[in-house]
């Protein structure tokens, strides 16, 4: 049967289906969908006749439009059907559920589903997320339109193409397209996190599982602690460790800090030794101190090397270190001697020694100092990063300006 | 790992602060039950019926605790609001039905709050209509420009007013034996036909002012907005029970205070000044002013909380983002729904000018009548093992809630019938 018009699921469900003679066979209870060549397609209708369920495969349908639904099957050849949790049903599994609009990067709710024709199949073309969808579900679309026409107003259509939709349940994976998954992965991690904040932890972790490790790690960092905890829990310690390894150590420490101890220990157990040590070091400091804020990934070279050598090393180190703007320079005893910046390095002669171009009056802070003190220093001296130096003069880590911003903003403004 | 020792101590330290952090949604919802409608209802109850009206109060408190706890548990475990779940599990029609019930009940309550504002403005010598408009504008500003924490702080402060009822109740030297005894069984009064008729009707009013449809939605949305972690379920449950106890703790004293000052002296309750007599033993000559300030405060709280619950429910049912933390631009529909009800209620109250004390009982009865459908779905959802896992209702909770719901249906019908056929 060639399906030519467009029709909404609310216009099918609960409608009667007729046999070839025009007799009533039953009412449509739900619609089974399966993976299609591109868009998901309708595979069968489930009809309800006097409390019993029967299934009508798609190819047995004759007429399929807003007015009439009819089949070439007679009552006596109706195949019975048992509700199966594995089947994908429109009303049970898709309608009224939340879904991600990858194009708009937001979470929306499915009010209705539009079906269209493709070859001989009926495929899911789009979902209706607007008020019109709700009105149609209630069966009053026409009356409403008529009423509003008096005011020269027409309810807008708010449809989102199935191409852009990323469902949230793993059950709907078979009918999820690659494109929306890719679109979400291309979003800024902060935007992905925003989406995850609106859905449950299980749905969130399902979404994150579909992302590559780097994006997943970046997204996880942006989430609120309770959401992070929920997602990491439903992930399993090994996968969680993979994500933790991808993150800068200070973000990893922050996340682990908010988890219950046994859980954090378990994840750390699976993390690569070097990364785990870095994170441990950071965890030993109290959250509200400079030590709790800092990251121990920074650039520090000996004073005797040349600018050219420094640039070569930077090329390698920049892979692992996020903040490479300041290059800290150490003396013979490996204590902090001075600092120079990437800008200085670019402007300097390649055969200069680092000792020649550094500034020795470095503003530093003790690990135990209060975080607000760090904020004040960064603001006062216009720093991009503030080195954290212990009593013996060794540099233990740096506090970057973006972390300072977070403190200052949450001091005045709510942070949920 | 040695480094975790430090973690552990700061963890314990945090836990004690934790309770204060969670302390919010259930207590506020419970406190907001003592809105202007609540004060009016409890005052009328005590003044008209004396101590025996304390008897239903105990049962109502237990029911309040159970349903609030269910509501909080539902949100914490599923990380979804009540309206969200109803929409997802039961579809559009049911959502519309429940929303309609909520809207009707809430609208009645809003009108009651505004009626209280009119009553008290008269006590202050202020012109009623402009005062009403001013309060409504203030309610709007505080919610659009403020945010969750600010709103919560303001409301917690407002709760202090109820202390005056406690002091007043003690100072007026009531018959404590009689009062406390009536919690267990009603006695000490002549149970005439007229009395019983009033008793039935006012009981439903007391029920409807303590347990409300909006309260059920509000606790769910507020808890979600506050983003409470799953691990804190036990603390939240405790807070729900505490909140319920607190609310009726204050109601108890309100009823005792009015019973001792007004019922005993057969003073009818028709005006704010008469109601203020209930706190005269404590506040003396300032009773009038204190009562006016308190009820104004309670009315304000009621306006904000009730309208918010409608807006939250609307957003959840029909798919718009709704959160106190959104700016006006982001959550336009949310804020519009909020303001629209207030505006409409203002129009109604300014054109009709109904007496607060007569209005309160009627609107609170409507609240009670709208409860059964809401409870039906609440119980269904919290009993769903697939949804709640190990936190699904146990037998006692389910049976208790179902019995109470059934009882509410029956008594509502009887009360409404009695009201219409004997007045």
The two beta strands, A52-57 and A41-49, are antiparallel
d(CA B361, CA B371): 16
pLDDT at B146: 63
DSSP state of A81: -
> What would the mean pLDDT of B48-64 be, rounded to a whole number?
89
d(CA A180, CA A72): 38
pLDDT at A416: 35
Q: Which residues of A touch B76 (CB under 8 A)?
A: none
- Side-chain half-sphere CA neighbours of B87 within 13 A: 26
pLDDT at B17: 47
d(CA A69, CA A379): 71
For A138, nearest residue in chain B (alpha carbons): B93
Domains in chain B (CATH in brackets) are: 20-370 (1.20.1730.10)
The pLDDT confidence band at residue A329, using thresholds 50, 70 and 90, is very high
Q: Which of A55-59, A64-68, A97-101 has the lowest mean pLDDT?
A: A64-68
Collapsed DSSP state (helix, strand, coil) of residue A106: strand
Which residues lie below 8 Å from residue A92, measured CB to CB, with a gap of 6+?
Answer: A30
A7-149 fold: SH3 type barrels. (2.30.30)
> What would the mean pLDDT of B8-34 be, rounded to a whole number?
56
Burial A305-331 (b: 16+ CB within 10 A, else e): ebbebbeeebeebeeebbbbebbbbbe
Q: Which residues of B touch A224 (CB under 8 A)?
A: 227
Q: How far is B93 from chain A (nearest CA, A)?
A: 7
Residue B7: is its pLDDT beyond 50? no
The pLDDT confidence band at residue A114, using thresholds 50, 70 and 90, is very high
Residue A32: is its pLDDT beyond 90? yes
- Decide: A354 and A307 in contact? Cβ < 8 Å: yes
pLDDT at A386: 93
Q: How far is B403 from chain A (nearest CA, A)?
A: 30
Q: Which residue has the higher pLDDT, B346 or B164?
A: B346
Distance of CA A165 to the CA centre of its chain: 13
For B86, nearest residue in chain A (alpha carbons): A96
Beta bridge partners of A386: A399
> What would the mean pLDDT of B398-416 be, rounded to a whole number?
86
Which residues lie below 8 Å from residue B176, measured CB to CB, with a gap of 6+?
Answer: none
Across the interface, whether the CB atoms of B92 and A111 are under 8 A apart is answered yes
pLDDT at B164: 76
Q: Which residue has the higher pLDDT, A187 or B232?
A: A187
pLDDT at B32: 67
d(CA B73, CA B79): 9
A299-412 fold: CBS-domain (3.10.580)
Q: Which of A270-284, B11-25, B233-247, B297-311 has the lowest mean pLDDT?
A: B11-25
Of the candidates A98, A198, A283, the beta carbon closest to that of B7 is on A283
**What is the DSSP code string of B277-343?**
GGGHHHHGGGHHHHHHHHHHHHHHHHHHHHHHHHHHHHHHHHT----TTS-TTTTHHHHHHHHHHHH
Of the candidates A138, A201, A257, the beta carbon closest to that of B93 is on A138
Instruction: Give me the sign of the Cα torsion angle A319, A320, A321, A322.
Output: positive
Per-residue pLDDT tens for B329-368?
666 777 888 888 998 988 888 887 777 777 888 888 888 8
Across the interface, whether the CB atoms of A287 and B10 are under 8 A apart is answered yes
- Side-chain half-sphere CA neighbours of A104 within 13 A: 13
Per-residue pLDDT tens for B357-398?
778 888 888 888 889 999 999 999 998 888 888 788 888 888
Q: Which residues of B touch A283 (CB under 8 A)?
A: 3-4, 7
Instruction: Give me the sign of the Cα torsion angle A290, A296, A302, A307.
Output: negative
Residue B157: is its pLDDT beyond 80? no
Distance of CA A368 to the CA centre of its chain: 35
Of the candidates B78, B92, B148, the beta carbon closest to that of A414 is on B148
Report domain extents, chain A: 7-149, 191-284, 299-412
Interface of A with B in 65-104 (CB under 8 A): 95-98
* Secondary structure percentages of chain B, helix, strand, coil, to 5: 85, 0, 15
> CB contact, 8 Å: A137 with chain B?
yes
Across the interface, whether the CB atoms of A280 and B148 are under 8 A apart is answered no
Beta bridge partners of A47: A28, A54
Residue B20: is its pLDDT beyond 50? no
Of the candidates A108, A261, A416, the beta carbon closest to that of B4 is on A261
pLDDT at B16: 45
Residue B247's alpha-carbon distances to B31, B38, B170, B174, B244, in angstroms, are 6, 10, 18, 21, 5
**What is the DSSP code string of B104-120?**
HHHHHHHHHHHHHHHHH
Collapsed DSSP state (helix, strand, coil) of residue B150: helix
> CB contact, 8 Å: A214 with chain B?
no
Q: Which of A221-225, A348-352, B116-120, B271-275 has the lowest mean pLDDT?
A: B271-275
- The candidate with the shortest Cα–Cα distance to B345, out of B115, B91, B80, B119, is B115
Q: How far is B287 from chain A (nearest CA, A)?
A: 39
Number of Cβ within 10 Å of residue B402's Cβ equals 15
Across the interface, whether the CB atoms of B229 and A229 are under 8 A apart is answered yes
pLDDT at B148: 58
Q: Which residue has the higher pLDDT, A109 or B163?
A: A109
> What would the mean pLDDT of A411-416 be, rounded to a whole number?
46
d(CA B57, CA B210): 9
Token pair, residue B412, equals: 């509502």
Across the interface, whether the CB atoms of A286 and B1 are under 8 A apart is answered no
> CB contact, 8 Å: A288 with chain B?
no
Across the interface, whether the CB atoms of B92 and A134 are under 8 A apart is answered yes
Residue B274: is its pLDDT beyond 80? no
Residue A263: is its pLDDT beyond 80? yes
Number of Cβ within 10 Å of residue A72's Cβ equals 14
For A266, nearest residue in chain B (alpha carbons): B1
Residue B284's alpha-carbon distances to B181, B252, B277, in angstroms, are 28, 21, 9
d(CA B105, CA B310): 10
Residue A358: is its pLDDT beyond 70? yes
pLDDT over 70, % of chain B: 82
Across the interface, whether the CB atoms of B148 and A284 are under 8 A apart is answered no
| pTM more than 0.80 | no
The pLDDT confidence band at residue B266, using thresholds 50, 70 and 90, is confident
**Complex ipTM:** 0.71
Q: Which of A120-134, A267-281, B95-109, B295-309 has the lowest mean pLDDT?
A: B295-309
The pLDDT confidence band at residue B8, using thresholds 50, 70 and 90, is very low
pLDDT at A415: 39
- Decide: A255 and A359 in contact? Cβ < 8 Å: no
> CB contact, 8 Å: A131 with chain B?
yes
CATH architecture of A191-284: Alpha Horseshoe (1.25)
**Which of A112-116, B29-33, B329-333, B408-412 is the most confident on average?**
A112-116
d(CA B255, CA A266): 56
Distance of CA A32 to the CA centre of its chain: 28
Backbone phi, then psi, for A379, in 5-degree steps? -70, -45
Per-residue pLDDT tens for A213-257?
989 999 999 988 878 888 888 788 888 899 999 888 888 998 888
pLDDT at B322: 56
């Amino acid at each position: 049967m060639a399906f030519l018009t467009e029709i909404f699921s609310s216009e099918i469900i609960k409608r009667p289906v007729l046999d070839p003679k025009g007799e009533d066979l039953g009412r449509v209870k739900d619609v089974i969908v399966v993976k299609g060549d591109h868009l998901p397609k309708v595979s069968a209708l489930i009809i309800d006749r006097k409390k019993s369920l029967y299934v009508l495969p798609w190819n047995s349908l004759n007429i399929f439009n807003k007015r009439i639904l009819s089949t070439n099957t007679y009552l006596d050849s109706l195949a019975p059907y048992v509700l199966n949790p594995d089947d994908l049903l429109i009303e049970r599994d898709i309608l009224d559920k939340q879904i991600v609009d990858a194009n708009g990067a937001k979470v929306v709710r499915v009010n209705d589903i539009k079906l269209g024709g493709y070859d001989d199949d009926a495929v899911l073309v789009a979902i209706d997320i607007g008020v019109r969808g709700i009105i149609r579900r209630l069966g009053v679309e026409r009356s409403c339109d008529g009423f509003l026409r008096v005011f020269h107003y027409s309810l807008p259509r708010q449809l989102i193409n199935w191409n852009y939709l990323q469902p949230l349940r793993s059950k709907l994976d078979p009918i999820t397209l690659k494109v929306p998954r890719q679109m979400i992965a291309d979003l800024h991690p902060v935007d992905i996190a925003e989406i995850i904040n609106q859905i449950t932890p299980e749905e969130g972790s399902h979404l994150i599982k579909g992302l590559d490790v780097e994006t997943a790690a970046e997204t996880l960092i942006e989430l609120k602690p309770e959401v992070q905890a929920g997602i990491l829990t439903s992930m399993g310690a090994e996968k969680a460790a993979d994500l933790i390894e991808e993150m800068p150590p200070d973000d990893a420490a922050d996340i682990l800090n908010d988890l219950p101890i046994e859980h954090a220990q378990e994840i750390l157990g699976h993390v690569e030794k070097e990364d785990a040590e870095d994170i441990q070091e950071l965890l030993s400091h109290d959250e509200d101190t400079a030590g709790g804020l800092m990251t121990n990934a920074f650039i520090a070279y000996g004073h005797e090397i040349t600018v050219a050598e420094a640039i070569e090393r930077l090329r390698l180190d920049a892979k692992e270190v996020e903040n490479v703007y300041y290059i800290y320079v150490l003396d013979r005893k490996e204590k902090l001697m001075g600092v120079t910046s990437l800008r200085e390095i670019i402007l300097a002669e390649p055969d200069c020694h680092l000792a020649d171009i550094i500034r020795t009056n470095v503003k530093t802070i003790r690990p135990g100092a209060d975080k607000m003190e760090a904020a004040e220093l960064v603001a006062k001296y216009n720093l991009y990063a503030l080195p954290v130096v212990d009593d013996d003069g060794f540099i233990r880590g740096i506090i970057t300006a973006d972390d300072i911003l977070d403190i200052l903003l949450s001091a005045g403004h709510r942070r949920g | 790992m040695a480094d975790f020792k430090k973690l552990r101590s700061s963890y314990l330290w945090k836990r004690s602060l934790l309770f204060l952090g969670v302390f919010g949604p259930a207590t506020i919802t419970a406190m907001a039950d003592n809105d202007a409608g609540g004060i009016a209802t409890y005052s009328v109850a005590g003044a008209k019926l004396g101590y025996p009206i304390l008897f239903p109060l105990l049962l109502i408190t237990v029911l309040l605790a159970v349903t609030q706890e269910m509501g909080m548990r539902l949100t914490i475990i599923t990380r979804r609001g009540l309206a969200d779940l109803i929409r997802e599990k039961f579809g559009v029609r049911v959502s519309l039905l429940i929303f309609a019930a909520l809207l009707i009940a809430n609208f009645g309550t809003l009108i009651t709050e505004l009626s209280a504002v009119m009553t008290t403005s008269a006590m202050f010598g202020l012109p009623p209509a402009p005062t009403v408009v001013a309060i409504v504008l203030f309610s709007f500003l505080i919610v659009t420009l403020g945010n969750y924490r600010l709103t919560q702080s303001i409301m917690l402060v407002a709760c202090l007013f109820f202390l005056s009822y406690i002091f007043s109740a003690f100072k007026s030297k009531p018959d404590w034996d009689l009062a406390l005894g009536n919690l267990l069984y009603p006695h000490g009064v002549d149970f005439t036909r007229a009395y019983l008729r009033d008793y039935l009707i006012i009981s439903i009013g007391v029920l409807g002012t303590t347990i409300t449809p909006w309260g059920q939605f509000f606790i769910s949305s507020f808890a979600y907005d506050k983003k409470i972690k799953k691990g804190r379920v036990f603390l939240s449950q405790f807070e729900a029970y505490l909140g319920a106890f607190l609310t009726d703790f204050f109601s108890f004293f309100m009823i005792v205070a009015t019973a001792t000052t007004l019922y005993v002296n057969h003073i009818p309750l028709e005006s704010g000044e008469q109601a203020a007599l209930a706190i005269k033993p404590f506040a003396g000559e300032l009773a009038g002013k204190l009562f006016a300030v308190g009820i104004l405060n309670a009315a304000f709280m009621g306006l904000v909380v009730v309208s918010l619950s409608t807006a939250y429910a609307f957003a959840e049912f029909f798919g718009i983002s709704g959160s106190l933390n959104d700016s006006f631009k982001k959550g336009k529909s949310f804020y519009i729904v909020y303001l629209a009800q207030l505006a409409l209620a203002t129009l109604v109250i300014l054109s009709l000018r109904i007496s607060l004390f007569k209005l309160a009982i009627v609107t609170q009865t409507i609240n009670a009548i709208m409860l059964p459908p809401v409870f039906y779905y609440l119980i269904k959802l919290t009993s769903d093992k697939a949804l709640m896992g190990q936190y699904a209702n146990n037998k006692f909770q389910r049976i208790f809630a179902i019995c109470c719901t059934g009882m509410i249906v029956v008594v509502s019908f009887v009360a409404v019938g009695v009201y219409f056929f004997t007045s």
